[in-house]
Structure formats: structure tokens, C-alpha cells
Amino acid sequence: MASDNKQEAFELIETALSDTYKDTVTTSVLLLKCQRISMLLDSKQENEWIWKELEGYDMDEDVPQYRCVGLTSKIVYSRIIDEKPEEQVLTYSQLRGANIHHVFQIRAPVHYLEKSNRELMSQDRLVIPFSKDTPIRRLLGLFKITKPVEVRFDAGIPVDSMRGIASSVRNRIHEFLLLQQTTLGLKPHLQSIFDDTMNLIASKLSTLDPNLLEDLRGLIEKLQSKSDLDWRSIVDSCRTIIQRFTDSVYLEEMVPVGEEKPAYDQTRNKCRQIAVWALSQFNAKLDDSPEGSRIERIPSYLDDYYEIIIRSVEKVKHKDIRTLRKDEVDRIVIYTILWMADLIQLLSRANYSWT
């Protein structure tokens, strides 16, 4: 079924790309095709903008930059905040100008912006904090008022501005389609690379720690889940996988002279000591040559790489689960696998005995 979905998505992308150049195909129709592609590829969460362009953006969320339009607007209402009720409302006679330049966020569905031949009336509000040095307060003649002021204003969004937004959406659609086309074309090659890396890890863990290998495979299979809770569990498991792997490859002879073996949870110290030990086993002379310098930097590279993974894990663990994205989880798993592969290659070069 997954293969059929990808094939259908690829064919739909080809058709939609051709349609982006046709004036007879509306932006809304193109968005509907993008919506279908996103569902076939199970990437709805990453591509929520498609749904929002079709249905319109909520009032409590920011819109993309291409939906922001700067206009001179007419003030329709203003009031002093935290003042007595009878003193709250400001009349126009208290303002030195009835107009203000404001950047409006246009939230209407794209089909309206593309088809309507009338101006789109838009309203907004702005709270001007109390400050004698605020230019906008001086502009409106509010510098004598010692309270924050709320100003409400409206403007008609010109038709050409609406068409410009629709054109920007169309450009975004084209970029989306090209990206999906490239990604689908690369996937077989990327899968081959990933399989080779996993085979390298499996060849070592199958004798070193078969249980860890099975847990790693289970973690990768769990990536197919659509549950946010499962995603967070996967990320936390990456830290455990690295901890178990590092403890499995650590040897007594890696303990620096005069020190004790780091505790089980002191993963970073063990990583550093493993890399330093591996360097000491190399036959290559660590001189000032490019090769010698590269080899000498390996412990720092692995240390920095490990730090990136752990920071990514912590970031996801403390993130609101409602904003957690699948691609974030995927990358952390990939980082973990690549880090393990790099350490395996380093140890193999140092003639590490995997049995």
C-alpha cells in the first residue's frame, strides 16, 4: 500500500507541476492536489500551510510574510486602557491625525483573494504603550496621555494586493511540488545508503550485543507510528541506545592511567576515552600532515556530534507535544545511527575485537 501511495503521489506531482503553468487551473485546485499528495505521503503535519491556504488562517496565528500588506488605515475607534469608563473613549478631536500606517495580516482563503473583484475590508487593533518617545504616540497626538492606548482601524485591501498574495501562494505550491518530486526520486538511493549503514552496525552488534541490535531495529520500526507519545518515547530511547552501545564497546584497557572506569550513565566520558584509546592504536603517525591532523580531531568530532544528539533529545523532551514534528524525531534517530556507525568505523580501524 505504501508503494502504491508513493506511485500515485509521484504521478499527481507530475500533473500538478504542469498545471502550475496554466492560467485555467486555479490556485485552489492546485492546493487540493497538494493536499492529496501530502495525505498520500503522510506529511500532513509538516504541510499544514496547504490546509490553511484553503480554509483561511485563524485570528490568533501569524500568517506567512507574503500575506502581510502595509497600508494607510483609517482609525475607527480608540480608547485609553485602565482608565475610568467615562474617560476611556478618545474622540477624533483628541487625535492629530485620523490615519495610521499599519501592516495587515490577510487571513482570507486563497480562493477569495484569487477571484474577488472587490476590496477586502480588514480590521485590526494595536495597543500603543505609554512612552513619550514613541513616534506613533507623537503622530497621533497622544504624548500627553499617561496610559496605554488601544487603537482600532480598518482598510480596504486592494484587488491587486490580493492577486499578489494568490500569486505568492502559487509560487509556494510550485516549490512544494518540486521538493516532493526530488524527495521521491532520491528515496531509493537514500534507502540504499541507510541500509548499508545499518548493515555495518548489525554486523558488529550481532556478536557484541544482539539484544541492543533488536532494540535498535524495534526503534526504527516504531518510527512508522503516528502517535506523538510514541515519537517522544523514540527520542528518549535514542539516548538509552547510545548509553548501552558505549558501555558495550568500553574495555578495561580504555581506562586512563590513575583513573577509574566511568559509571554506566557517564556516557560522554566513556565516549571520549574510547576515541582516545582508538587513536592510540593507530599505526599512522599523528604528525602535522592533513591526514594526521584529521585523525587527531576525531575525538573532538565525535564528542561534538554526541553533544548535538543529546541537546536535540532534550529539546524534544521539553517541547509541547502538540508542536512536536515527525521530521524532528526522524533526524534524531538518523543522527544516532550515523554516530554509532562512525564510532564502529573508528574502532574497527583500531583493530578492536568485536567478539
pLDDT digits (tens, 9 = 90+) for 165-193: 999 999 999 999 998 888 887 666 667 77
pLDDT for position 172: 94
pLDDT for position 92: 44
Residue 37 contacts residue 58 (beta carbons within 8 Å): no
Is residue 196 assigned to a domain? no
* Whether residue 170 sits in one domain with residue 27: yes
* Whether residue 322 sits in one domain with residue 219: yes
Is residue 182 assigned to a domain? no
* Whether residue 17 sits in one domain with residue 36: yes
* Whether residue 249 sits in one domain with residue 276: yes
* Whether residue 310 sits in one domain with residue 220: yes
Residue among 293, 243, 271, 291 at smallest CA distance from 347: 271
Could you list the residue range(s) of the whole structural domain that residue 131 is in? 65-157
User: Which of 123, 157, 191 marks a domain boundary?
Assistant: 157
* Whether residue 303 sits in one domain with residue 169: no
Is residue 183 assigned to a domain? no
pLDDT for position 93: 45
* Whether residue 170 sits in one domain with residue 153: no
* Whether residue 93 sits in one domain with residue 140: yes
pLDDT for position 1: 43
pLDDT for position 265: 84
pLDDT digits (tens, 9 = 90+) for 23-39: 899 999 999 999 999 99
* Whether residue 50 sits in one domain with residue 70: no
pLDDT for position 190: 65
Q: List, for the chain, all residue ranges whose pLDDT scores fall below the cut of 50.
A: 1, 91-93, 96-97
pTM of the predicted protein model: 0.54
* Whether residue 46 sits in one domain with residue 119: no
* Whether residue 274 sits in one domain with residue 152: no
How many domains does the structure of the chain reveal?
A: 3
Residue 18, judged by CB atoms within 10 A of its CB (0-12, 13-18, 19+), counts as exposed
CA pseudo-torsion sign 104, 108, 111, 117: negative
* Whether residue 142 sits in one domain with residue 72: yes
For β-strands 149-157 and 99-105, DSSP reports them as: unpaired
Is residue 195 assigned to a domain? no
Residue 118, judged by CB atoms within 10 A of its CB (0-12, 13-18, 19+), counts as exposed
Residue 277 contacts residue 299 (beta carbons within 8 Å): no
